[in-house]
Amino acid sequence: MKNLSEKEKSPLASLEEWEDDVLARYPEPEKGKAEFRSYDKETDNPIREFYRLNHTYQTYDNVLAKKARFLKFEQMEMPWWAAMEYLNTLVDDSDPDTSLDQLQHLLQTAEAIRADGHPDWFVLTGFIHDLGKVLCLFGEPQWNVVGDSFPVGCQFSDKIVFPEFFEANPDSTDPRFNTKLGVYSENCGLDQVHMSWGHDEYMYHLTKDYLPEEALYMIRYHSFYSQHREHAYDHLLNAHDHEMFKWVDKFNPYDLYSKSPKAPVLSELKPYYEDLIAKYLPETVKF
C-alpha cells in the first residue's frame, strides 16, 4: 500500500463521527434523524471521504496482512482495566451527542444491558466490545479500525453504505473475488469468511478463547449492518449463523442507543466490573 497522508489516515475528526452516521442511518424509533448529525453529499463530507478510503483499501490482501501482523499480539500487555483506561486516549471532543470518554460510553452500554437483567457475560460484552479501537493507538488508519464491516474475498454488496466507492477497490476487478461467492461456497458459514479488518474482528480474536459463542458473535458482527439490517449475505451464512445472529440483534440497540449526557459514576461501578473481568478473562490482555 502507498504511504498515506495524515488526511488519508484520519479523515474523521473522531471515530465517533462514524457512529453518529450509523445512528443517522438507523435512528432509534423515538429519536428522529434530524437530532443526529447529518451529511450533505454535495459538500466536503468526512464520512464520504472515510468510506472512499475504506472501500478502496479494504481488500482481501489487506485483511490477511493485518491478521498476520496484529494477531501475534505483540504490541503490549497490561491488566484489562488499565487497557480500558488506555482506550480513553481516544476521547472525542467533537461529538455533539456526548462529551463522555470511551470508557464512560462502554459503561453506559453495559449498564443498560445489566438494567434489563441479561446474563453477566452479556454485560461484560457490552463493556469491552469497543476495546479493539486501540488499533488507532498502534498506528492504524481510521478506515482500518471503524466503519461498517463486510466480507472480503467475494463481491461487495450494493447494500453496503456508499457502494459506488468499491469501484476503486482492486478486488472488484479480480476474477477470484468479484463473483457472488468469490473464494467461498454457498452457505459455507461465517467462520469460513474473512471480514473486513477493524476493531470488531480484532476484538473477536482477543476474546475468542474466553467468552460464550453468543458474546463472540455480538463482538465480531456488531458493525455488519449490511447483513443484520439488509440480509445482504444470506448466501454465506449457514443455519447456525442465522440462529446466533439473534444475539447480534439483541446487542445492537444497547450499543447504538445507550448514549446519554449523564456520566456513569466510575467509583461506584469499578468494583463490579473488575470482578466481572476476573470471572471471564485472564489477568492481563495482550494486544
Rounded to the nearest 10 degrees, how much is the dihedral formed by the CA atoms of 250, 263, 99, 142?
Answer: -40
At which residue does the C-alpha cell 449498564 appear?
111
* Percent over 70 (pLDDT), the chain: 90
pLDDT, tens digit, 9 for 90 and up, residues 194-217? 999 999 999 999 999 999 999 999
1 found inside a domain: no
Handedness of CA 209, 212, 217, 219 (dihedral sign): negative
| Per-residue pLDDT at 248 | 97
- Min mean pLDDT across 144-158, 175-189, 244-258 is at 244-258
The CB-side HSE value for 250 (13 A sphere, CA atoms) comes to 20
Q: Which residues contact 52 (CB under 8 A, 6 or more apart)?
A: 162, 165, 168
64 found inside a domain: yes
56 found inside a domain: yes
Q: Confidence class of residue 281 from pLDDT cuts 50, 70 and 90?
A: very high
65 found inside a domain: yes
| Per-residue pLDDT at 37 | 38
pLDDT for 223 beyond 50:
yes
Count up the domains in the chain and report the number: 1
Beta strands in 69-109 (DSSP E): 77-79
| Per-residue pLDDT at 263 | 77
Q: How many CB atoms lie within 10 A of CB 178?
A: 16
228 found inside a domain: yes
pLDDT, tens digit, 9 for 90 and up, residues 95-141? 334 445 778 889 999 999 999 999 999 999 999 999 999 999 999 99
| Per-residue pLDDT at 42 | 46
Segment 156-167 mean pLDDT: 98
27 found inside a domain: yes
Q: Coil, strand, or helix at residue 286?
A: strand
Q: Which residue has the higher pLDDT, 35 or 118?
A: 118
Q: Which domain holds residue 265?
A: 6-286
**Distance between CA atoms of 287 and 213, rounded to whole angstroms?**
21
For the ranges 22-36, 42-56, 234-248, 252-266, the one whose mean pLDDT is highest: 234-248
Segment 149-175 mean pLDDT: 98
As separate numbers, helices (DSSP H) first and strands (DSSP E) second, the chain gives: 12, 2
pLDDT, tens digit, 9 for 90 and up, residues 48-75? 999 999 999 999 999 999 999 999 999 9
